[in-house]
Amino acid sequence: MKLLEYKAKEIFDKYGIPTQDGIVIDSLDGLKPKIEGMSYPVVVKAQVQAGGRGKAGGVRFAETPDEAGDISEALLHSTLKGFKVNKLLISEKVEGIRECYISITLDRMCKAPMVIFSAQGGVDIEETTKASPEKIIKVSVEPLIGIREYLIRYIINKSGLGMEYFDQMSLLVRNLYRVFNDYDCLLAEINPLMITADKKVIALDGKVDIDDSALYRLPDIMEFRNSLQEDELVLKARKFGFLYIPVDNDGNIAVMSNGSGMIMSCIDLISKHGMKVGAALDLGGGATSDRIAEAIRIILSNIGIKALFISIFGGITRCDEVAAGVKLAMESQTEDKIVVVRIEGTNKEKGLDIIKRMQGNVIPVNIIGEGVKELSGRMGWL
């Protein structure tokens, strides 16, 4: 679950991480009195679950209330990087002498949280990573020990930030680590972390990614998620415990599997053959034939999808259950859509027998590559 910036900052405020004052709007009604009392200049930021908003025109500065109103009117309900802008964050602009970067992420190699810091942050942090990797400082955190003084001193000394920032950095890193743990984060990031002229540190932006498996114990995040104006098919799939993922608005092929790694591999291969994936659906584990049939109905209800590639490794989810689900879904399918099915694992032969006896555009394949070639030929790219 990727939080919007304003929600990440609400959490930062709750944990004592300094942010600038601002307001969140989802309508232009009553906007003028809200922004007239702000200190100018201000920054108007589109709230979408995507990076690179500034370079895409989603972050703009205003010198007056009238200019802020005009920018808000232009941005609100527009489309930015494929996302509908349903909220704006309007904050007071902060002038600084240095932009830094800090994040805490889950390092799967070390099997521990990792603090990443750079004294050169901002929108060009990716370029810093490529051009000057030595300026990116990474320190693993022992979970049973947590953030200790030596870790903060190491970051400051290694980056050349200056020990006058020790107290502020110590408090900030400790509090960010509390956010990371309390909210079961995969990532808690501040970019830029601004150092102002009076040597204060302040979080100008926030990015928080939360493990979906932990949402049930985070009622405030569940409430936030339910408040988002999401794709109708995302919401429909969620009711059945599926993860529906819009991919490319121009894509006409869908991918369905029981694991994110499998889905990404299929998308990569399909893209390499010049085709575009419009959506994907992750079944999770242990899906029955009824649930698989419902998943197929959901993904094929997208009018832009003309073909579906199903790739299932049957363990908990048996191959014959998958095939029975495909059969059940296709019996009620009125549109002429192609379904390519690759199944492997428990009861594979039973599953293949069910699929081979089906009528219509349901094609069984043995491996993913064969399935992609079948799609390519059927869809007219060869």
Using alpha carbons only, give the angle 283, 286, 292 rounded to the nearest 5 degrees.
50
CB 208 within 8 A of CB 189: yes
Amino acid sitting at position 181: N
C-alpha count within 13 angstroms, C-beta hemisphere, residue 253: 26
Pair 257, 312: CB distance under 8 Å: yes
Output the tens digit of pLDDT for each of the chain's 382 residues: 899 999 999 999 999 999 999 999 999 999 999 999 899 999 999 999 888 888 899 999 999 999 999 999 999 999 988 788 999 999 999 989 999 999 999 998 888 999 999 998 877 787 877 888 888 999 999 999 999 999 999 999 999 999 999 999 999 999 999 999 999 999 999 999 999 999 999 999 999 999 988 999 999 999 898 787 667 898 899 889 899 999 988 899 999 998 888 999 999 999 999 999 999 999 887 678 999 999 999 999 999 999 999 999 877 778 999 999 999 999 888 788 999 999 998 889 999 999 998 877 899 999 999 999 999 988 765 4
Q: For the residues of 176-219, what is the DSSP string, one character each?
A: HHHHHHHTTEEEEEEEEEEEETTS-EEES--EEEE-GGGGGG-H
Q: How far is CA 354 from CA 149, 286, 314, in A?
A: 63, 19, 15
**What pLDDT is recorded for position 120?**
87
The H or E element spanning position 326 is: helix 319-331
**The two structure tokens encoding residue 39:** 């200190």
Q: What does the alpha-carbon distance between residue 101 and residue 122 come to, in Å, rounded to a whole number? A: 7
> In CATH, what number does 21-92 get?
3.30.1490.20
- Helical spans, DSSP H, in 192-288: 219-227, 232-239, 260-272
Helix (H, G, I), strand (E, B) or coil at 316: coil
How do strand 307-314 and strand 253-257 relate by DSSP bridges? parallel
Q: Which of 5, 189, 294, 374 is catalytic?
A: 189
- 101 in active site: yes
State which CATH number among 2.40.40.20, 3.10.180.10, 3.30.470.20, 3.30.70.100 fits the domain covering 96-216. Answer: 3.30.470.20
User: Which one is catalytic: 5, 6, 101, 165?
Assistant: 101
Q: How many helices (H) and strands (E) does the chain have?
A: 13, 18
* Phi, psi angles (nearest 5°) of residue 376: -60, -45
CATH class of 232-378: alpha beta
Cα 14 to chain center, whole Å?
23
CA nearest to 19, candidates 120, 107, 89:
89
Q: Where are the domains of the chain?
A: 21-92, 96-216, 232-378
Q: Is 40 a catalytic residue?
A: no
Q: Are the C-beta atoms of 289 and 328 separated by less than 8 Å?
A: yes
